[in-house]
Amino acid sequence: MGVTADTPTNLVVGAGNVLVDHANVGSSTESNLFAIDREIFTPDLNGTKGALLGTDYITSSTGRIETTVPEVNGIIMARGWPGSQSTGVVGGMEIINEDEQRRIPLTDYHDWEVQVERLGGGAFQFEVDNAIQTGSLEYELQDDGLVAPRFTVMGRWDPANLTASPHRIRILATAS
């Protein structure tokens, strides 16, 4: 298949914008990544030379977004540290810390999205619902660069609706 009239519209160019709960989080650096991490069980049956068609079973499917965010503020820092609390700004200072609680509150789970505009109009949207930052929280401070933590957010299935996938790709014909 060669180049067609739709080729420019179907090209994904650029890192896109990162949104949390449908709000833009600001600029990002480096690449933004969307992935669906899956595990598949296939039985190893006697008498066959390999896996049989139709015997694959999905045991796990998790949406993942990775992004590097240089615009740090209290909200972004708390999103990168699930289970933390913020004092809010009091006396010109905000403190973000954690206490003895081990279970992450439901309010720390958010819908994350990477949206890339299509060259011919519309957008590609890569979405992960009910996601929390599961990577290490690291702030590298340097003389010749930005503080820009890398977040790895993983989606979670909603126990109230196990038939609704918490990750998806949307291809919009027109801009949203």
The secondary structure of 78-104 as a DSSP string is HHTSTT-EE--SBTTB--EE--S--SP
Report yes or no on 142 lying in a domain. Answer: yes
CA distances from 37 to 27, 65, 75, 168 (A): 26, 11, 27, 12
Task: List the structure tokens of 38.
Answer: 């899956």
Report yes or no on 52 lying in a domain. Answer: no
Contact 12, 34 (CB under 8 A): no
- Comparison of pLDDT for 99 and 43, the residue scoring more: 43
Residue 13's domain comprises: 7-32+64-172
Question: Which residue has tokens 């291809």?
Answer: 171
Q: Where residue 30 falls among pLDDT bands split at 50, 70, 90?
A: confident
- Beta-carbon contacts of 112 under 8 Å, excluding residues fewer than 6 positions away, are 18, 19, 20, 65, 127, 128, 131, 153, 155
Report yes or no on 125 lying in a domain. Answer: yes
- Beta-carbon contacts of 29 under 8 Å, excluding residues fewer than 6 positions away, are 68, 69, 70, 146, 148
Report yes or no on 53 lying in a domain. Answer: no
**Structural domain total, the chain:** 1
pLDDT per residue as tens digits for the range 55-110 = 999 999 999 999 998 888 888 888 999 999 888 888 999 999 998 989 999 999 99
Report yes or no on 40 lying in a domain. Answer: no
Report yes or no on 22 lying in a domain. Answer: yes
Whether the full predicted model's pTM is greater than 0.85, yes or no, is: yes
- Of 175, 30, 64, 35, residue with least CA distance to 116: 175
Report whether pLDDT(175) > 60: no
- Per the prediction, the chain carries an average pLDDT of 91
Task: List the structure tokens of 50.
Answer: 């390999």
